[in-house]
Amino acid sequence: MKIWKTALLFSAVLLFGCGREPMNYYEEAQKALEAGDENGARQYLLHEIAQNDTPEAHLQYARLLGSQEEVAGVAAWHYRRYLEQLPNNDDVRDVRKLAVECEQKYMDYCIRLFTKKEYSSLEDLKFRLKLIDEHARSQKLMVERLELEKRNLGEQILELREAKTKERRRNGK
């Protein structure tokens, strides 16, 4: 009998909550930004991303990080996550451009960071080589993504042309 009471109480808590409204971290982040508290906004956005994985939180977080070259790679990832979640949104082209710019900014930062100093060890040289290799790989992936998008757009154009041709034939008969 005690098990049933516990299960019933647990079900009630799940159904009705604990009497408090759940915090809307995205709204709190917006309030923090309005108050000029970027650090607080970043924290609220990270909570929103962790709990709800909302595209708006990814986009806002990326915008906050994008201007800082040392974390521009993280910003690029959040822009990409936004694009995965809303691939047909009106701002896809602009967000994709921001992601590419952040990726480039971060790679430039990494290369600049490791070309300023003299290399005192073999490990430093290996690390620089690894950075350059990663940059080349990311550029190759970007080209592959663009080629795939180009093929997809070409297929969409052909489908639209075929549909228009069929529509004209139906209307002409």
34: domain CATH number is 1.25.40
Statement to judge: residues 48 and 89 lie in one domain? yes
Asked whether residue 59 is assigned to any structural domain, the reply reads yes
pLDDT of res. 9: 44
Asked whether residue 11 is assigned to any structural domain, the reply reads no
- Structural domain harbouring 57: 25-116
Statement to judge: residues 106 and 166 lie in one domain? no
pTM of the model: 0.59
Among all chains, which residue has been given the structure tokens 């154009």? 157
Question: Please, which residues have CB within 8 angstroms of residue 128's CB and are 6 or more apart in sequence?
Answer: 111, 114, 115, 119
Asked whether residue 19 is assigned to any structural domain, the reply reads no
- Distance in angstroms (rounded) separating the CA atoms of residues 116 and 119: 9
Q: Total domain count for the chain?
A: 2
Statement to judge: residues 111 and 61 lie in one domain? yes
Q: Which amino acid is residue 9, in one-letter code?
A: L
pLDDT of res. 158: 93
Q: Name the DSSP class of 121.
A: S
- Interior angle at CA 104, CA 39 and CA 120, nearest 5: 90
pLDDT of res. 163: 92
Statement to judge: residues 109 and 127 lie in one domain? no
pLDDT of res. 116: 63
**Which structure tokens are listed for 67?**
């201007």
Statement to judge: residues 35 and 106 lie in one domain? yes
Asked whether residue 20 is assigned to any structural domain, the reply reads no
**How far, in Å, are 2, 21, 23, 115 from residue 10 at the CA level?**
12, 18, 21, 59
Statement to judge: residues 36 and 75 lie in one domain? yes
Query: Looking at 101, 116, 131, which one is the last position of a domain?
Result: 116
Query: Looking at 71, 100, 116, which one is the last position of a domain?
Result: 116
pLDDT of res. 21: 58
Statement to judge: residues 72 and 40 lie in one domain? yes
pLDDT in tens, the chain (173 residues): 455 444 444 444 444 445 455 678 999 999 999 999 999 999 999 999 999 999 999 999 999 998 888 888 889 989 999 999 998 999 999 999 999 999 889 888 887 776 666 666 777 778 777 877 877 787 787 788 878 888 988 999 999 999 999 998 988 76
- Distance in angstroms (rounded) separating the CA atoms of residues 43 and 66: 16
